[in-house]
Structures are given as C-alpha cells and as structure tokens.
Amino acid sequence: MTSHRRPHPKEPQILHALSDGRTNEEIARQLHVGTATAARIRAEHAYPPARPRLTPQEKFTRDTVLLPGGHMVWTGERTQDCAPVITYRGQKLSVRPIAYAMENGRPPVGNVKSACAYPWCVAPECQADAEDRQALRAKKEKEADVPDEVPTLDTARQLDEAFLRLEAC
Ligand SMILES: [Zn+2]
C-alpha cells in the first residue's frame, strides 16, 4: 500500500511551473519553496530533470548547420507555414531577427530576410532588415552598371541540395 501524503499547499503552482520547464532553483525562487520540495514533486510526477535553459542564441547555434560560403540551414522548429522559430520561455520567436541581432548588435527594423542568393539561408551575416534593404537598393541604383554577385551554377546547386537534405519543412 502506498501512503497518501497531503499535497503541498503550493503543489498546483509547482506542477504548473514544472510543466513550463522551469528548474528546481527557478521554482524555489519564484514560489518561495525549498529546492528539495520542487525536486520531490518533480520526482513524484515523473517530470524529467530540468536542463539549464538555453538562450535563443544558443538554440540558434544548436539548430543551424553551416554550409560552404558561410550560409546556414535551419534544422530546428518551424511554424506551420515553415518559418524558422525558437521556443523561448513558452513563446515562439522568429529566428531571423535573432540572427540579425547576433550579427548587428541591435534589433532589426521591420522584416528580416535573407539578403544572399539563398532565400532559405539563416546565417546572421546574410540577414538584412528593412533599412538594410533600402540602403542596398539605393546603392544598387547608384552603381547600376555593377552586376550582382551571382554564385556559379555548381555552387548554387550544391547548396540547394544540402538545404533540401537538411531542412525538415
Ligand atoms: Zn546566406
């Protein structure tokens, strides 16, 4: 026979925090309980040990594959319409603005898109925000006779094949 313990007064909140993926330390701090209490309730309800939370930047590094030329394929989570996302503290964050901020040290203005030859590329240095694209257009107009840098057909094919092999969408 198992003895039935009276539930901890904060058990519902603790369970909620556990299902939110919080660590024992976070739960102890937020709900003013002991870490031992959080650990016990975690074990009783068979929640896995909480791993230290990865930052969005760490998740970006974990879920990208570097391709020749410095381009990157996203192999992580996507929305239903295929947009790369990172789940952080229960929220879905778009990957491109994160990549943009990693490269530029500031959040982007407007939409972020790949500015290289590969629309799927998420490499931080290949992302451009609305301001960058406007500046790029203005520069192109000024240097209208300078042709765009176009990858050779072979390189483009190799990269597209790598992309199709790696991406999950
Ligand atoms: Zn690229």
Tokens 């030329």 belong to which residue? Answer: 69
CA nearest neighbour of 151 among 116, 126, 119: 116
What local confidence, expressed as pLDDT, does residue 76 receive?
93
The neighbourhood of ligand 1, an ion, using CB within 5 A, equals 71, 116, 121, 123, 126
CA nearest neighbour of 149 among 103, 111, 112, 118: 118
What local confidence, expressed as pLDDT, does residue 145 receive?
66
What local confidence, expressed as pLDDT, does residue 33 receive?
96
Cα–ligand 1 centroid distance for 68 (angstroms): 10
Q: What single-letter amino acid sits at 140?
A: K
pLDDT digits (tens, 9 = 90+) for 32-88: 999 999 999 999 999 988 777 789 999 999 999 999 999 999 999 999 888 999 998
Give the confidence band of 3 by pLDDT, cuts at 50, 70, 90: low
d(CA 18, CA 83): 28
CB 48 within 8 A of CB 71: no
Cα–ligand 1 centroid distance for 164 (angstroms): 15
CA nearest neighbour of 22 among 61, 50, 64: 50
How confident is the prediction for the chain on average, in pLDDT? 89
Please compute Rg for the chain using Cα positions.
23
Cα–ligand 1 centroid distance for 29 (angstroms): 42
What local confidence, expressed as pLDDT, does residue 11 receive?
95
What's the pTM value of the predicted model, to 2 decimals? 0.65
pLDDT over threshold 70, residue 4: no
pLDDT over threshold 70, residue 148: no
